[in-house]
Amino acid sequence: MNNKSKTTLLSRRQLIKYIALLSASISAPTFGEIERLTPAPALPGGKDLGTGNFAFIYRNPQLREEFLNFLINVFHLYPEQQLQTLIQEAAETYNTDQNIYRHVQTKLADIKPFLAELTFALPALNKQKSTMATQTVQLLDPDRRYEGYLELGSTGRYIDALEEEFNIVGERYFIAEKAPSYSLSDMIDRNQIWQAGPFIPLANYRPAIAKTIANNSLDLVSIFIGLHHCPIPLREEFLSSIRDTMKPGAYLLIRDHDAKNTKMRAVVGLAHDVFNMGTQESWDYNERELRHFYSLSFLDNWLSNSGFVGDGRRLFQSGDPTHNALMVYRKA
């Protein structure tokens, strides 16, 4: 990156940080523009029937301590030990995920520090961006020119960090559930005021990609959110539509969990539960979320049979018990 680009980047970051500080000092907004929590209905007393991810992990001392690393190293939106205690107490009182989830949500305000958006949420976001960029440098040639970029799962969260390390030119495209806006949370998420590039609605994994992106036009595609939320009947169609945008030999960065057994499916499932719970998503939203978890071996076979070639490298994030690995594949 040249000196002019570095200066522009620094100024942009300083401006975003200033806006965040000013807004937080005035109204302490909730990061991500999450809805205000409404009190949950009365919960049944004593023990209720049913089991789930919370009880599976939090009633096992070893698994509970392992999961604490997710709160510390990945989630990090609340004081970790206090959140750990809240979840453990709820898991010892209620068996069903629904009751545990809703009960803990009623207590989150009690442990949330003042300006938590700046002292917890923003550093956690920046850590994930930095981790993705650092790992990507280990997988791709930073001296190569990458013409055309597609990011799936956000409206520009990672492109800024990647551009610090790589020469990415041409158009940048973004596929996500929600359209980008000029809200404070969106500007912080993409680390710039203006929108990062053309947006394509995910449309429940039926995006109209061909209407926006020409075939064989992109050198780099990133799917840092994995493919486990994709409806199973749409898997092949969706992956093919992504592959069509890529030039021969183009790179696919993909990150997903190694949910290879019952324990790992529970750990990964609970990570999703806690993320949704901590960002104040409703239980109904959490329950509707598709989670077709699989092993990395399954993912490798799937990609290999879909016209991609991997090199076998899997980069895991230190301290992440969900075994989320970043990998690189090339279009054959």
| Per-residue pLDDT tens over the stretch 274-324 | 999 999 999 999 999 999 999 999 999 999 999 999 999 999 999 999 999
The confidence band for 115, taking pLDDT boundaries of 50, 70 and 90, is confident
Residue 149: φ, ψ to 5°: -140, 140
| Integer Cα distance of 73 and 101 in angstroms | 21
Give the CA angle between residues 154, 16, 124 to the nearest 5°: 55
Structure tokens belonging to residue 26? 């005035």
Asked if 158 contacts 125 with a C-beta cutoff of 8 angstroms, the reply is no
Task: Please tell me which residue, 267 or 8, carries the higher pLDDT value.
Answer: 267
Convert the pLDDT of each residue in 52-70 to its tens digit: 999 999 999 999 999 999 9
Distance CA 184, CA 302 (A): 38
- The pLDDT score that the predictor gives to residue 272 is 98
pLDDT at 98: 96
| DSSP codes, 185-216 | HHHHHHTSSS--S-EEE-GGG---GGGTS-TT
For the entire predicted model, the pTM comes to 0.84
What number of other Cβ atoms are within 10 A of residue 188's Cβ?
23
Distance CA 149, CA 264 (A): 32
How many other CB atoms are there within 10 angstroms of residue 203's CB atom? 11
Residue 80: pLDDT above 50?
yes
Q: What are phi and psi of 96, to 5 degrees?
A: -80, 145
Phi-psi region at 115: left, alpha or beta (left = phi > 0; alpha = psi -120 to 50): left
- Provide the pLDDT for residue 18: 45
What are the beta bridge partners of residue 95?
Answer: none
Which range (15-24, 97-106, 307-316) has the least confidence?
A: 15-24
Amino acid (1-letter code) at residue 164: E
Where helices occur in 94-217 by DSSP H, the ranges are 97-111, 116, 122-139, 159-165, 184-190
pLDDT at 243 over 50: yes
Q: What are phi and psi of 175, to 5 degrees?
A: -115, 125
Q: How confident is the model at residue 73 (pLDDT cuts 50, 70, 90)?
A: very high
